[in-house]
Amino acid sequence: MRGRAALAIVLAAFVTGCADDRDGAEERATWRYPDAARVTQIDDYHGVVVSDPYRWLENSDAQATADWIVAQNELSLPHLQALPTRAYFAEQISALIDYERFGIPQFRGGRYVYTYNAGTDEQDSVWVTDDLAERGDMLIDPVTLSADGTASTSGQVLSPDGQLLAYGVSDGGSDWRIWRVRDVDTRVDLADELHGIKFSGISWAPDGGGFYYSRYPHKVDGRAADAGAYDDQQQVRVWYHAIGTRQADDVEVYRVIDHPTRNPYGVVTDDGAYLIISLFDGYVANGFYYQRLREGVRKSETVRLLDEWDARYEFLGNDGTVFYFRTVLDAPLGRIVAIDIEHPEPENWRTVVAETDEAIRQSTLAGDSLIVEYLSDAHSSVRVFDLGGAHKADVPLPGKGSVSGFGGRFDDVETFFAYTDFTTPGSIYRYEIATGDVQPINVPDTRVDAADFVTRQVFVNSADGTRVPIYIVHRKDVVYDGTNPTVLYGYGGFNVSILPRYSSTRMAWLNAGGVYVSANLRGGGEYGEAWYRDGALLEKQNVFDDFIAAAEWLIANEVTGRDHLAIWGVSNGGLLAAATGLQRPDLFAAVLPAVGVLDMLRYHTASANARQWSTDYGLSENADEFAAQFAYSPYHNVQQGKCYPPTLILADTNDDRVLPWHSYKFAAQMQYAQGCDNPVLIRIETRSGHGAGRSTSKNVEQYADQWAFVAEQTGLVLPTQ
């Protein structure tokens, strides 16, 4: 839709759908929702008048908001915990999650560090060893990070000589990180402590005397040690921190002065000769600059190597003055190019790995080789090339699942990767680069026998005829008769590919006899750049159409039925679940939007990071993009008096990525408008964030509540009943 015609259409939809009319709602006999004041807040978007009656819930510090949160949990939590299958799921998840889990090792200076969880530990610990055949010693015990188990390590990087470990700490699931430095030999932290950091790793200087990182500037009235003292409405800057000094004495290395939204991040090349500065500003295009690092010089001239903002690039590594990048420029499925910085003009670029008929998901440069992961109908394959582009080997994988890892340095002889699929937990393998030999390092022993389950992939036709793949997973004894309790999951955004992976919490649903379906929607990266762009901006409705097509196929083919199908999504997937549930409430027995982006007109006001989502969502200040957003924005498309499926909204008060007011406002609007007795509940966790770093016990509690709610609404009968 474009221009005035589109505005007229969405205005008519708004007037029809949001009139202040409670016809039908008074018939609700069971659910008495907490009071939520409706205020007069009117905004004008390009001549369209939009009401925002729950704007006050955006104020997280207000007592009224805190009281509303308490009241909502007092309604939802007792109900969820009293559901007949809740105890079963809590017990199942606790048992299934109780197995040893290992992270991908990192090697520097003769030492390996890796994360480890014995099974039911609240958070992963960090271990160090000089021989992967031995467990080694615990380097960081997460118990020391917080009393309640909600603080976690998030990123750890060994210094070049392996003597120091820089590690990030997240408190209560926040995206803010405090970075500390630990002496590997003594297991004691140095005095160094860095604040104001989000979405930035660290990169050690060649001599190990310090590292580069990016942080937000201080607020005018902020206190140096307070996360709230840093202003994430502004741009980050690249800094150098010398070990043993105060953060206040750090040296600013680079800041963007010619553009208001681009964020710079620095990484040192393996040879220590260059600081590569990547600039992030959304998910469609980026830039790369560099500085030469000389003895005793922390800062030098910044050279703008890639500054056209014509495509996405990923820096892989260098061989002297030759820099290697993965890009989608002139190659929608991806290619790898070599750029000699002495002759950087595009006509001098050399294609090293050409585009094929499969999308490149990720690439690394390790051990003088390019290791490239391709996607074949939403599962991984891995090929290895030399720096001239000659194919060296294919990496054998255990099945049609997904991989991660393959990191390393230019001179490494080995690299490590993890493999997983729907019924195989993450297993760690060593890949010997010279020979292509693959050896298992850590293969978990779980209570799950993959032979008891079926994974099949089918393709469904979306509204415009596009073929969309979906994976269907269930026990072998499941029979397609139209009555199977089923959960349909999707994401569809930000070029993220949703691939097969193991989940103990999801396995509890499968063990109980439920069906799990994962849809590979447009907006993801499964089929390259065109697939991604066809689910973004003015084309975002394609994502919802794909999801609806998956639901209709499942019903038409009797995998499940309308009374037995639930939809679920997280973050951008929370938007997907909410929008789809509103557009086709007739298809679903339950809707579960988790930590979703639900107010499309104001999402970008939360932070500079949120504004960069505009490459997917658009901005409401642009007329065409506003029209597209307003047509599907969940908060603005709830129709008064309409009967919606039972809905469980999941939110976290510490979520500083997708601020929880999205979920608060949507829940209040849904509860006010619901025209039948189907419940609209919101479960609000108060000591976790957007998802990463959530403690084991909180995961058990949330998913026990979630699956019990889905079981109740889809008619799941437990195997023991």
Instruction: Classify strands 151-158 and 164-171 as parallel, antiparallel or unpaired.
Output: antiparallel
Q: Are 463 and 545 in contact (CB under 8 A)?
A: yes
- Of 214, 564, 690, 695, which is the active-site residue? 690
Catalytic residue among 571, 607, 614, 633: 571
Angle at 497 between CA 312 and CA 632, to 5 degrees: 90
CA distance 174 to 657: 8
Beta bridge partners of 403: 419
Going by the DSSP 8-state scheme, the letter that residue 238 receives in this structure is: E
Residue 327's alpha-carbon distances to 199, 280, 353, 403, in angstroms, are 22, 15, 11, 20
Please write down the HEC assignment for all residues of 617-661.
Answer: HCCCCCHHHHHHHHHHCHHHCCCCCCCCCCEEEEEECCCCCCCCH
**DSSP conformational letter for 517:** E
Distance linking the first and last C-alpha atoms of the chain: 52
d(CA 701, CA 399): 32
Helix (H, G, I), strand (E, B) or coil at 510: helix
Catalytic site includes residue 125: no
Contact between 353 and 362 under an 8 Å Cβ cutoff? The reply is: no
- Closest C-alpha to 605, from 662, 533, 686: 662
Q: Is the dihedral of CA 268, 269, 273, 274 positive or negative?
A: negative
Q: Which residues contact 81 (CB under 8 A, 6 or more apart)?
A: 705
Residue 257: CB atoms within 10 Å: 6
Query: How many other CB atoms sit within 10 Å of the CB of residue 17?
Result: 15
192, 201 contact by CB (below 8 A): no
272, 292 contact by CB (below 8 A): no
Residue 694: left if φ>0, alpha if ψ -120 to 50, beta else—which one? Answer: beta
- Closest C-alpha to 600, from 626, 638, 571: 626
Element (H, E) at 93: helix 86-96
**CB-CB contact of 47 with 626 (8 Å):** no
- For this structure, is 614 an active site residue? no
Name the residues annotated as catalytic.
571, 690
